[in-house]
Amino acid sequence: MSPDLLAIEELTVRLRTRRGIRRAVDGVSFAVGSGEIVGLAGESGSGKTLTALALLGLLPGGARVSGRVMFEGRDLVGLDRRRLRELRGREIALVSQDPMTALHPLLRIDVQLTEHVRAHLGLSKAEAEARAVELLAAVRIPGPAAALGAYPHQFSGGMRQRIAIAVALACAPKLLVADEPTTALDVTVQAGILRLLDNLRHEHGFSVLIITHDLGVLSAVADRLVVLYGGRVVESGTTGEVLASPRHPYTRGLMRALPGAVGAGQAMTPIAGSPPTLDSMPGGCHFHPRCDWAVESCFTVVPARREIGGGRTLACDVDPLRREGPETAAADRDGEPGLEPELQR
């Protein structure tokens, strides 16, 4: 097996809040293999964006980062700004949540695509333009040559997001980090973008770290899932396995809150309570105040993340599946809260 392209090890991001220094990302470890799509999931405030920014060296001033971000064997933590800037755009590209910020609203598409390519790859104007047309065609923009002369506002939201992906791919990165790439889009457009990402990674052979609060999005495209809660990884594994038999009470709750996970006419059950803020982070297992399974030790003991076979990890000392016994566990795998088959890959 080829070594991982990206291996994040014990990544911790400390931020200063009004009440002191808090860990917004707390000992996060996971890897992204070559050509793999890994999904980072979790509710608002779980530390998804900060994890992405930490690996890109784009954390806000005042943030302190520790741990390792091994990219092709080099540790990016502590790399100087110039080297990081070179790496971004060339080897690691970011597609941010809002296509309007990903693209400059006042610059024509050709400028946004060719300047980037020329600066990083040292191509002539004509070569850069030919490459820009190729990229727009790759992201399925109709009439790519004509599209080069247009401005972002002349495209729909879905088209703008495709163009933002083209800009990110301009320098043929090895890793694409996509932070909520489809959140602002309606469901059909969203499905189109996800299919596109999946096709492109096969055609171009890059890896993707896709970040979203929506497990439904990840079920369509990710090979593996990493679930974050309160800055910690609570569960990880192949998408098929995690969605078919989620082990952490939080993952199970996320899945019950998913529209496709319940039958017609049944109400969705969102997880009770709201996610913690940095200043209200509970002790022990961060999820315990919202957890139906919590026992006394969950209030004080931080559950260790352990391997549970099949390449999966779990950070829960209760593990509902184990407590339910094999019979209920088997029934669980056949029905709720697992995803309906059509939502699985």
Residue numbers of the site for Mg ion (CB under 5 A)?
48-49
Binding residue for ligand ATP, selected from 30, 32, 46, 113, defined by CB under 6 A: 46
48 touches ligand ATP by CB under 6 A: yes
Window contacting ligand ATP (CB under 6 A); options: 43-51, 71-79, 84-92, 336-344: 43-51
Q: Dihedral, CA atoms, 344, 238, 293, 50, nearest 10 degrees?
A: -100
Q: Does 219 bind ligand ATP (CB under 6 A)?
A: no
Using the rule CB under 6 A, is 160 a contact of ligand ATP?
no
Q: Does 237 bind ligand ATP (CB under 6 A)?
A: no
The interface partner of residue 50, options being Mg ion, ligand ATP, none and the CB cut-off 5 to 8 Å by kind, is: ligand ATP
Nearest to 11 by CA among 89, 110, 60, 78: 78
For residues 60 and 54, what is the distance between their CA atoms, to the nearest angstrom? 9
Please name the residues in contact with 247: beta carbons below 8 A apart, sequence gap of 6 or more.
235, 308, 312, 314, 316, 319, 320, 321
Q: Pick from 11, 39, 49, 92: which binds ligand ATP (CB under 6 A)?
A: 49
List, in sequence order, every residue forming a beta bridge with 312; answer none if it has no partner: 309
In degrees and rounded to multiples of 5, residue 172 shows phi and psi of 50, 60
Asked if 112 interacts with ligand ATP (CB under 6 A), we say: no
Grouping H, G, I as helix, E, B as strand and the rest as coil, residue 28 is strand
Among 6, 26, 4, CA closest to 14: 26
Side-chain-side CA neighbours of residue 204 (13 Å): 24
> Is residue 56 close enough to count as binding ligand ATP by CB under 6 A?
no
67 binds ligand ATP, rule: CB under 6 A: no
15 binds ligand ATP (CB under 6 A): yes
- Scanning 37-45, 118-126, 298-306, 309-317 for contacts with ligand ATP by CB under 6 A, the matching segment is 37-45
Q: Least distance in Å: CB of 43 to ligand ATP?
A: 7
Q: For the sheet with 74-75, list strands across it.
A: 20-32, 6-17, 64-71, 74-75
CB of 60 to ligand ATP, least distance (A): 4
Cβ burial, residue 55 (10 Å; 0-12/13-18/19+): buried
Residue (138 or 234) nearer to ligand ATP, CB: 234
Quote the CA–CA distance of 197 and 130 in Å, as a whole number.
22
Nearer to ligand ATP, 24 or 32 (CB): 24
Our CB check for ligand ATP shows the closer of 269 and 280 to be: 280
Site residues for ligand ATP, 260-319, by CB under 6 A, read 277-278
Binding stretches for ligand ATP (CB under 6 A)? 15, 17, 24, 42, 44-50, 60, 213, 277-278
